[in-house]
Structure 1
Amino acid sequence: MKPTLRPLRAADHVFLRSVYAAARARDIARSGWDVATADAYVRMQFDAQHGFYRKRYPAGHFDLVLDGDISVGRLYVARETQRIHVIEIGMLPAYRNRGAGSALLGALQREAGARGAAVTTHVESNNRAMALYRRFGFREIGSAGFHRLMEWRADAPSAPPTPTSKDHTA
């Protein structure tokens, strides 16, 4: 899949909540909540997260990931002088492992490499995306609770070549 991006619109929030819910589906299933309680939880948590991201990264790029005309995920990125920070990347389950995340991450690495910047992201230590970031040459440079701060630099001595779009995990 070759994903494209477009800036978020207010009408996208229902879809974005579904991406958030899909990422938390296992935890929600274990909670034993009824549908109404689970929906209220997802709405509250997504709204809090999205609001925090907008406030913390006011110049951030908040984009919908598209496969043709189909909304498949979200990519939130903050471009700073010395780094490109991946705030959030998430795909609906049906579009995971089809190369979209790899294509997006590879494009960010090429952009950062061209301007001598790093790519960073925070990843929960038990998140399966950790393997993707490691495969793309990210190294852990810090931690806070369950989150690991990962960094990729083109000039890092141990950084492998940037994976191609044929790398189909994400």
Structure 2
Amino acid sequence: MRAITLRPIVDADIPFLRMLYAQTRAAELAPVPWPAEFKQKFLDDQFDLQHRHYVGFFANADFLLIERQGEPIGRLYLLREPPGFLIIDIALVEAARGRGIASALITHAQSTAASLGLAMSLHVDRRNAGARSLYERLGFVVVDDEGENSSHLAMRWSADQLKTA
């Protein structure tokens, strides 16, 4: 794997983050019969709302750009506060998916959390089977499933789970 680095997000990264967000929603919007310009406006508005929410609600989080050889390939938003780490969001461009990058980043965060005696949690879109499978392979378990009407599942990992498994 080529060198992967993380750095804090700056304002100049917003166009990349906007494009990344649109990529993560492309399959969901594909069947929607809107004109391309309307879809783009919707995605831009949704990105703006999400970004403002994350930055405001998780002000103490690390908002990190994932780079490979200096080129942006994703984002990792991670809150590192007791009672545990929270993966707010992790996303990679399509070309970088399935190459072990997310696994390596999450595993590193798990190791850091474990060294501090902390657990880790996240929410995964219930339609995102690939992400859920990744999280389960990394030891996360569903801790809250509000039923088919909820869009996300709450998942949790702790080093204690590994000791008892």
> Per the shorter chain, which TM-score range?
over 0.9
Match of 1:155 in 2: 160
Structure 1 stretches of 4+ with a deviation exceeding 2 A read 157-160
Per the TM alignment, residue 143 of structure 1 is displaced from its structure 2 partner at its CA by 3.2
> Could you tell me how far apart the structure 1 residues matched to 2:87 and 2:164 are?
18
> Could you tell me how far apart the structure 2 residues matched to 1:132 and 1:99 are?
10
2:102 is aligned with what amino acid? G
TM-score, length of structure 1 as denominator length: 0.89
1:110 is aligned with what amino acid? S
Match of 1:167 in 2: none
Structure showing the higher helix proportion among its residues: 2
> Could you tell me how far apart the structure 2 residues matched to 1:33 and 1:27 are?
12
> Could you tell me how far apart the structure 1 residues matched to 2:89 and 2:26 are?
17
Per the TM alignment, residue 156 of structure 1 is displaced from its structure 2 partner at its CA by 1.4
Find out whether 1:85 has 2:86 as its counterpart.
yes
Per the TM alignment, residue 3 of structure 1 is displaced from its structure 2 partner at its CA by 2.0
Q: Higher mean Cα deviation, 67-76 or 136-145?
A: 136-145
Count of equivalent residues: 160
> Could you tell me how far apart the structure 2 residues matched to 1:111 and 1:157 are?
15
Per the TM alignment, residue 35 of structure 1 is displaced from its structure 2 partner at its CA by 1.8
Match of 2:101 in 1: 100
Which structure has more RCO (C-alpha within 8 Å, separation ≥ 6)? 1
Match of 2:70 in 1: 69
1:151 is aligned with what amino acid? R
Q: Higher mean Cα deviation, 131-140 or 22-31?
A: 22-31
What are the equivalent positions in structure 2 for 1:113-132 lying under 5 Å apart?
113-127=114-128, 128-132=130-134
Structure 2 unaligned residues grouped into runs of 5+: none
1:148 is aligned with what amino acid? L
